[in-house]
Structure 1
Amino acid sequence: MSIVGWIVIGLLAGGVARWIVKDDRSGCIYTMVVGVLGALIGGALMNAVDSTGVDEFSLRSILVAAIGAVLLLLVLQAIAGRGASRRR
């Protein structure tokens, strides 16, 4: 898949993941980075269960990337939540 394909999947998956998790950060680049990292995470998880990961531009690839992005955002929120409670 080309760089443009990764960017488009990243934007779509990041947008879906931010909508699901209710992430309040904004920005096109942030959304794209979350989506692309989610695609890497989701693809690695799918490869671990003997299935294909994110390999072409399709609805399945967007869903796999969105699942990975949701996991990433939940982990980031858990880390940020722990840090805020330690400061008190």
Structure 2
Amino acid sequence: MGFIGTIIIGFLAGVVARFLIPGKTRPGGIIMTTIVGILGALLATYLGGLLGVYEVDEAAGFIGAVVGSIILLLIYGKVTKG
């Protein structure tokens, strides 16, 4: 998948994660949504590799990116409430 594809998948994963997590745990804006989605995909790939779900050169799919984005949003919510 190319750079543009990564951005599109990251944006879509960020949008789904923002929709699934209600409240003020969501940073605003289209750029932040895309960044959260891309970082969520990277987090899911890393955690999936540690757990043996993904191979070394295999990236997380869309569902993994959404799960990673949700994890990041929950961490963001905990950090900003304190």
Normalized against structure 1, the TM-score is what? 0.79
> Partner letter of residue 39 of structure 1?
A
Q: How far, CA to CA, are the matches of 1:12 and 1:21 in structure 2?
A: 14
Q: How many residues align structurally?
A: 78
Match of 2:44 in 1: 42
Greater Rg by CA: 1
Give the gaps of 5 or more residues in structure 2.
Answer: none
Match of 2:65 in 1: 65
Please state how far the C-alpha of 1:25 moved relative to its aligned partner. 3.9
Structure 2 counterpart of 1:33: 35
4+ aligned runs moved over 4 Å, structure 1? none
| CA pair 7-81 structure 1, distance change in 2 beyond 3 A | same
Structure 1, residues 4-28: CA drift from partner, whole Å, max 9, x if none?
Answer: 1110111110001111112554321
Whole-Å separation in 1 of the counterparts to 2:52 and 2:26 = 35
RMSD: 1.8
Q: Secondary structure at the match of 1:66?
A: helix
> Which residue identity is paired with 2:28?
S
Distance 2:36 2:26 in 1: 13
Read off the aligned partner of 2:10 and give its amino acid letter: G
Q: Which runs of 5+ in 1 are unaligned?
A: 83-88
More helix by share: 1
Q: Percent identity?
A: 33
Name the SS of the counterpart of 1:68 in structure 2.
helix
CA deviation profile, 1:16-44 (whole Å, cap 9, x unmatched): 11111125543211110000000011111
